[in-house]
Amino acid sequence: MSTIASPAQAARSELRSYAGELIGPDDAGYDDARALFNAMIDKRPALIARCRTADDVAAVIAFAREHALPLAVRAGGHNGGGLGSVDDGVVCDLSHLKDISVDAAAGTVRVGGGCLWGEVDAATQPHGLAVPAGIISTTGVAGLTLGGGHGYLTRRYGLTIDNLLSAELVLADGRKVTASADEHPDLFWAIRGGGGNFGVAIEFTFRAQTVDTVVGGPTFWAIEDTEELLAAYREWLPSAPRNVMGFFNFHTVPPGPPFPEAIHLRKVCGVVWCVDGTDEEAERAMAPLLGVAEPLMHGVGRMPLKDLNSAFDGLYGPGDQWYWRGDFVREIPDQAIAANRAWNERMPGFKCGSHLYPIDGAAHDVGVGDTAFAYRDVTWSQVFIGVDPDPAAADTLRDWTVGYWEELHPHSAGGAYVNFMMDEGQERVRATYGPNYDRLAQVKAAYDPDNVFRVNQNIHPAS
C-alpha cells in the first residue's frame, strides 16, 4: 500500500481549523460533487473543498499553492467550458455560501458567493425587487456576475455588474478585501467583467431594482418567416423603449406542454419578451413584430419576473451535452440573416438554436473603459447553442456550432461574451476585452502575480 498521501488525505491532516467538507476520489459522493452542468466535460479533481467560511477559502488557496496543484473555483457549476472544475487539482466549491439578506428600505441585497439566481429571486421578489440577471434560474450568481451578466432587465437597468455595489474577495495571498468604488477601485473595475481572475468572491452586494410582474413569454413564427422578421426586429429593437426587452431566437418547438402539439418539433424563429410595464405598453411594443407575419404561437402573459426567469429551466437542465460559442453583434446584415436561417434549418437536435440577447439601452450608459466589460457599444450578445442529451451526439453538436459560428463571425464585432466561450485560446480572450485587456493584465499582476486563478478565461499578469 502506498504511503504517499493523496491531496484529499493531505488536506485532511493539514487543514486543521477548516470547517467545510473535503471530498476526494475515494469518497462516496465524489461523482455527484464533481458533476458539472455540462455533461460533455468530465473532469476528475484530486480534491473538492466545499468551504463554509472566508478562512476556509483562504486555507484552500494556500493548500493548492503549497502543493503546486491547479485551483478551480466553483459557484453554480454552469460554465459551458467547465471552468468551475479542474483535472487533478483542487476545486474551491462555494455551494455552502448561501446567505442572502435583503435590505428593502435601502434597495440592496447581499448574496453569498455560492448562491444561484433562483435563490436571489426568491428572496427579492416578495419585496417587489429584483437584481438584473440571466434567463435561467439555476445559473450561479458568481460566474454570471463576474463575467458581466445580461438578461431580461438589461435594457432598462444595465448589466448585472452595473448593479454591483461591492464584493468581498479572498485574494491569492489569503487576504480578505472589499472591492467597491471606494475600496480597491482597481479591483472593483476588474471584477466587473474580468471573471474569476482576481480572487474568490465570497459575497456580493447588489442594488436591487423595483420590479414586480412583467409581461413575458415567447412568440414563435415559422422559420420560413426569418428574413422578414429578423429584418423587422433589427430595425425595431433600437427604437423600443428601455422597459421593453425581446431576444430573438431560433429553436425547435419542444415536444411537450405547454407548446401546442400541432407545432411540436417545428423549427421556428421567435422573440422571447419581457416588458416591465403595463399591458397596454406591452401590446404597443409587440405590435410592430406581431404584424409582420402570423405567429404559430403567442405564449405571452403577465407573471412575476421570477417565473419568467425560471420558465426555461426545464428545457435546459443539467446533464446535457453542451457546446456553445458566442459573439458580440453590432448590426445584422441581410447576409447574416440568411446564414442564421440556413444553419438553424439544419439544427442537429431540438435543444439547439441561437439567441440574440439585446445589450443596448442602459448597458450603453456605461463607457467602454468604465468596467472591464468592453463591448458597451454593441446591440446584441449572440450565442450559438449545441445541446443534446445523447453523449453520442457530442461531435455533431460541436461541428454544427463551430460551423455556424465560423460563418457568422465575420459579421460580428470581434469578441464574445466571456460567459459564452469554451476553451478557445488566448486571442479570443484578448478580443473579448479589447482595449481593456492591458489594464486587466496590470490589475492581475497586482493581485495575482503568480496566476493562481488561471482556470478561467485567463488574463495573464503583465510582466
Residue ranges binding ligand FAD (CB under 6 A): 37, 72-80, 83-84, 94, 113, 134-136, 139-140, 142-144, 146-147, 149-151, 195-196, 200-201, 316, 419, 455-456
Q: Is 302 helix (H, G, I), strand (E, B) or coil?
A: strand
For residues 159 and 134, what is the distance between their CA atoms, to the nearest angstrom? 10
For residues 267 and 352, what is the distance between their CA atoms, to the nearest angstrom? 10
Q: What are phi and psi of 50, to 5 degrees?
A: -90, 100
**Residue at 244: amino acid letter:** V
* Residue (108 or 457) nearer to ligand FAD, CB: 457
Residue partners of 66: CB distance under 8 A and separation at least 6: none
Question: What's the closest the beta carbon of residue 116 comes to ligand FAD, in angstroms?
Answer: 7
- Mode of pairing for the β-strands spanning 90-93 and 47-50: parallel
For residues 334 and 331, what is the distance between their CA atoms, to the nearest angstrom? 10
* Residue (123 or 383) nearer to ligand FAD, CB: 383
Question: What's the closest the beta carbon of residue 176 comes to ligand FAD, in angstroms?
Answer: 13
Question: In sequence order, what are the beta bridge partners of 62?
Answer: none
Question: What's the closest the beta carbon of residue 49 comes to ligand FAD, in angstroms?
Answer: 13
* Residue (261 or 423) nearer to ligand FAD, CB: 423
Angle at 456 (CA atoms; ends 16, 327), nearest 5 degrees: 155
How far, CA to CA in Å, does 423 sit from each of 37, 319, 357, 380? 16, 19, 22, 22
* Residue (70 or 434) nearer to ligand FAD, CB: 70
For residues 248 and 355, what is the distance between their CA atoms, to the nearest angstrom? 6
* Residue (54 or 268) nearer to ligand FAD, CB: 54
Question: What's the closest the beta carbon of residue 228 comes to ligand FAD, in angstroms?
Answer: 27
Question: What's the closest the beta carbon of residue 419 comes to ligand FAD, in angstroms?
Answer: 4
* Residue (73 or 397) nearer to ligand FAD, CB: 73
Question: In sequence order, what are the beta bridge partners of 248?
Answer: 271, 356
Residue partners of 280: CB distance under 8 A and separation at least 6: none
* Residue (146 or 164) nearer to ligand FAD, CB: 146
CA 86 centroid distance within chain: 19
| Percent composition of the chain: helix, strand, coil (DSSP 3-state, to 5) | 35, 25, 40
For residues 270 and 381, what is the distance between their CA atoms, to the nearest angstrom? 16
CA 399 centroid distance within chain: 23
Question: What's the closest the beta carbon of residue 159 comes to ligand FAD, in angstroms?
Answer: 8
Question: What's the closest the beta carbon of residue 449 comes to ligand FAD, in angstroms?
Answer: 17
Question: What's the closest the beta carbon of residue 262 comes to ligand FAD, in angstroms?
Answer: 27
| Angle separating helix axes 7-14 and 54-66, nearest 10 degrees | 130
How far, CA to CA in Å, does 61 sit from each of 69, 73, 170, 200, 204? 10, 10, 9, 9, 20
* Residue (149 or 295) nearer to ligand FAD, CB: 149
Question: What's the closest the beta carbon of residue 134 comes to ligand FAD, in angstroms?
Answer: 3
Strand order in the sheet with 21-23: 21-23, 47-50, 90-93, 71-74
Question: What's the closest the beta carbon of residue 230 comes to ligand FAD, in angstroms?
Answer: 20
* Residue (82 or 295) nearer to ligand FAD, CB: 82
Question: What's the closest the beta carbon of residue 192 comes to ligand FAD, in angstroms?
Answer: 13
* Residue (33 or 296) nearer to ligand FAD, CB: 33
* Residue (18 or 323) nearer to ligand FAD, CB: 323
DSSP code of residue 459? P
Residue partners of 7: CB distance under 8 A and separation at least 6: 24, 46, 47, 67, 69, 90
